[in-house]
Structure 1
Amino acid sequence: MSATTKKLKSELSEELDYILNYWSINTLDYKNGGFIGQIDYDENHLDKAEKGSVLHARILWTFSAAYQETKNENNKEIAKRAFEFLYANFYDTEFGGLFWSINADTTPKDTKNQIYALAFAIYGLSEYYAISQNAVALTLAKNLYSQIQKHSYDPINKGYLEAFTREWEPIEDLRLSDKDANEKKTMNTHLHIVEAYANLYKVWKDKNLQTVIIELLATIEAHFINTETGHLRLFFDENWIEKPDVISYGHDIEAAWLLLQCAQISEDKILIENYTKYAIQMAEVTQKGLDTDGGLWYEYDSEKDELVAEKHWWVQAEALIGFYNAYQLTNDEKYLNLVLANWNFIKKYILDTKNGEWFWGINRDYSLIEKDKAGFWKCPYHNSRACLELIQRINS
């Protein structure tokens, strides 16, 4: 370990503690249970905000994964709180799905089955099982996996459909958010299904699950990875007809390392070889989205030849891992230098050194993007995972 990487590891260990402390101190909802639905840009706690299943599932994963690294009992307690609340309030005991959101008082709000949310629940539940050996958590993860396979999997064309009603009927609005195309198959959901399934396989060595992961990685390779450009294709209909969209630098660099990790967990040698190649290719082309200050831009609209000139927190977090992964694979110092430059950018512009946590991001003129500090999409998952991944990778 060089002096440079030793310093980086030390700073990331410290930052991980800051992130966990912020969520432990600021987000616990003592009135209704679980975690507060929203803390806005000005640190106002919006006690009546709806609570998202993705937020709670990501908190569950974060504190479970952090406990494995830190062995801090408080992290295990926070993970337990997240598990118990998710199980009691988001899991649909009648139809076997997961509510997208609930009201602050824990009554159901949006009861659709968004497969993305089910995947994150599996991701968090399997990580929690790893630290707790809680049989209910593993059973719940298996149940959600079965529901995805039963209702979302497309046996004819392969891949997974986006969303359903509570009763598992077709639904008109399939989108994760307003900015997404209303299409039946998306890169984002497939990425997080395979992430979830791979994490489940780590604690449940089921041969059928392994086969499903291998097929899913092959499907992603066939449709979502543009092997010519190295970028991801984002939206398709059910017959794999592409609906062209932006280049998402954040998803490119996230997929670069995450899909290789899933391939390694699957133990399929051909997939490992292929995704090693893609990891390097995607890290290489993502450099087009880097600014001179070390930050990674959000998206590029090639049709309009227009940059979405924002630098979001999660994009920077994934850049840390993706470029460090490329450094590990190639031993090329340029990738380590990109990591260091990106971390310096994060320290200078993204970390909230006054209140804790990370700002949503900055605009082209370096003004802050005035969006949530905690909320439906602002979770501790990306930044804590970046810290954890690099701490562990620098060790190896």
Structure 2
Amino acid sequence: MDIPTWKSRIERELKENILGYWAANTVDHENGGFYGKVADDRLAVKESPKSLVLNTRILWTFAKAYRSYGDPLYLALAQRASDYLSNHFLDPRHGGYYWMVDSEGRALNRNKQIYGQAFAVYAFAEHYLATGDAGSLQQAIDVFRFMREHAYDPENNGYREVCSEDWAASDQSGLGPDIPGMKKGMNTSLHVLEAFTNLYRAWKSEEIRYALKEMIETMLERIIDPATCRFQLYFDEAWNSLRPNLSSSGHDIEGSWLLYEAAHVLDDELLLQAAKRTAIGMAQAIYEKGIAPDGGIIEESDEHGPVTTDKTWWPQAEGVVGFVNAYQMTGQPHFMDAAVACWRYIEERFSDRLNGEWFAMVAADGRTDRSLPKVDAWKCPYHNARACFELVERL
């Protein structure tokens, strides 16, 4: 596939099948904001709760879309998401954002899940970059400072998984399985890194620069296994791995390009070279061990092989970007070949030409499960839209 043709197909997928779907099918005109769940057939499940993850990712997506294309529709949708987050998710007493509200915007889960706080930083920083809205930048800075004050571990570095409503330390489990002794996780750490990167783009202060540099070092020194160039997933307070045989190919390939991006934005030459070496190693590890026989990116594996043969949408999106990034760093053609193959797999298996958006899951034999929603607390426009934005800019 020649590059101009591929780029045109990506942009059409982005504008028509992803952004167009969200604009047409997800706006909650009755209760404000966006629906918490939309079924495969585009029917909204109107009573569904609304998650912080979904709403911050909608904000990021349409702010980025407006920054890329200048379409006033994208600006209006970004503003709608920003307003809803500020009016319903923002905790007016303690600061930060609730994890979940009901369909009418009343708080259901008031915990300060650090994963969600990171996405608030990421999204409001993007809204500022797109619009120049100083209030959005201040919201991102405020949450960043709450995270530093209440969730940061000054002894071991990194951030705990969850705080209570008033930002007190919480024993509740974070993302992933309930593992005794788990205090920190790769997934939260990766998205803290991502959030700090975007905030540093918007706010060139020493305060965020220090925190971003420290997160890059934490990823390199604590979370990535140098022997395998893969993430460890779950840790105790002192970064001892609690499931050393479990790996996530989707997060590895996503992390490869987010780590390099963070170091590039920071513009620290020593860290940039270290991140580049590691990112190439991570992409190569997934090229060798993270692609299933059917061509899809495997989600999780243990010492026995893939945990499931089903494929989910988001590792495929991250795979294309990660392999293109590896090609751009090395010029090695096998990475570009892998990226093109991954995109073709998406077009053939995941992109829904009938109802729009991408299927959440596809079986190894190619069957899609239409009982799964196109929109829910975790099924958001961020992975696939972001992949398209990245590819259009890079190709």
TM-score w.r.t. length of structure 2: 0.96
Query: Is the aligned partner of 1:239 residue 2:273?
Result: no
In structure 2, stretches of 5+ residues that fail to align are none
CA distance in 1, matches of 2:256, 2:337: 18
How has the CA–CA distance of structure 1 residues 157 and 194 changed in structure 2, closer, same or farther, with 3 Å as cutoff? Answer: same
CA distance in 1, matches of 2:2, 2:247: 32
CA distance in 1, matches of 2:319, 2:159: 27
Cα contact 1:299–1:309 (8 A) shared by 2:
no
User: How far does residue 216 in structure 1 lie from its aligned partner after superposition?
Assistant: 1.2
How is 1:301-380 mapped onto 2 (pairs within 5 angstroms)? Answer: 301-302=302-303, 304-369=304-369, 370-380=371-381
User: How far does residue 306 in structure 1 lie from its aligned partner after superposition?
Assistant: 4.4
Cα contact 1:293–1:341 (8 A) shared by 2:
no
User: How far does residue 44 in structure 1 lie from its aligned partner after superposition?
Assistant: 3.0
Aligned length: 390
Q: Which amino acid aligns with 2:332?
A: D
Cα contact 1:39–1:373 (8 A) shared by 2:
yes
The corresponding residue for 1:4 is 2
Secondary structure, counterpart of 2:2 in structure 1:
helix
User: How far does residue 252 in structure 1 lie from its aligned partner after superposition?
Assistant: 0.3
The Cα offsets for residues 322-345 of structure 1, whole Å up to 9 and x where unpaired, read as: 000011111111111111111111
Cα contact 2:297–2:315 (8 A) shared by 1:
yes
Query: Is the aligned partner of 1:295 residue 2:296?
Result: yes
CA distance in 2, matches of 1:351, 1:246: 29
Moved beyond 6 Å, runs of 4+:
none
- Report which stretch shifted further, 29-38 or 236-245: 236-245
User: How far does residue 133 in structure 1 lie from its aligned partner after superposition?
Assistant: 1.2
The Cα offsets for residues 193-249 of structure 1, whole Å up to 9 and x where unpaired, read as: 111111011111101210111111111111111111011011101121210152100
CA root-mean-square deviation: 1.3
Cα contact 1:235–1:242 (8 A) shared by 2:
yes
Query: Is the aligned partner of 1:283 residue 2:283?
Result: yes
In structure 1, stretches of 5+ residues that fail to align are none
User: How far does residue 270 in structure 1 lie from its aligned partner after superposition?
Assistant: 1.1
CA distance in 2, matches of 1:326, 1:79: 31
User: How far does residue 55 in structure 1 lie from its aligned partner after superposition?
Assistant: 0.5
CA distance in 2, matches of 1:208, 1:125: 18
CA distance in 2, matches of 1:120, 1:181: 24
CA distance in 2, matches of 1:25, 1:176: 31
CA distance in 1, matches of 2:211, 2:290: 33
The corresponding residue for 2:45 is 46
CA distance in 2, matches of 1:341, 1:306: 20
CA distance in 2, matches of 1:102, 1:12: 34
- Report which stretch shifted further, 237-246 or 204-213: 237-246
CA distance in 1, matches of 2:42, 2:90: 29
Cα contact 1:301–1:308 (8 A) shared by 2:
no
The corresponding residue for 1:108 is 107
Cα contact 2:294–2:364 (8 A) shared by 1:
no
Cα contact 1:111–1:166 (8 A) shared by 2:
yes
CA distance in 1, matches of 2:338, 2:329: 15
Secondary structure, counterpart of 1:379 in structure 2:
coil
How has the CA–CA distance of structure 1 residues 180 and 251 changed in structure 2, closer, same or farther, with 3 Å as cutoff? Answer: farther
Cα contact 1:257–1:279 (8 A) shared by 2:
yes
How is 1:1-396 mapped onto 2 (pairs within 5 angstroms)? Answer: 4-18=2-16, 19-176=18-175, 179=177, 181=179, 183-244=182-243, 246-287=246-287, 288-302=289-303, 304-369=304-369, 370-394=371-395
Cα contact 1:97–1:118 (8 A) shared by 2:
yes
CA distance in 1, matches of 2:295, 2:2: 17
The Cα offsets for residues 44-103 of structure 1, whole Å up to 9 and x where unpaired, read as: 311000000110000000011111211111111110111011111101010012100001
Q: Which amino acid aligns with 1:259?
A: L
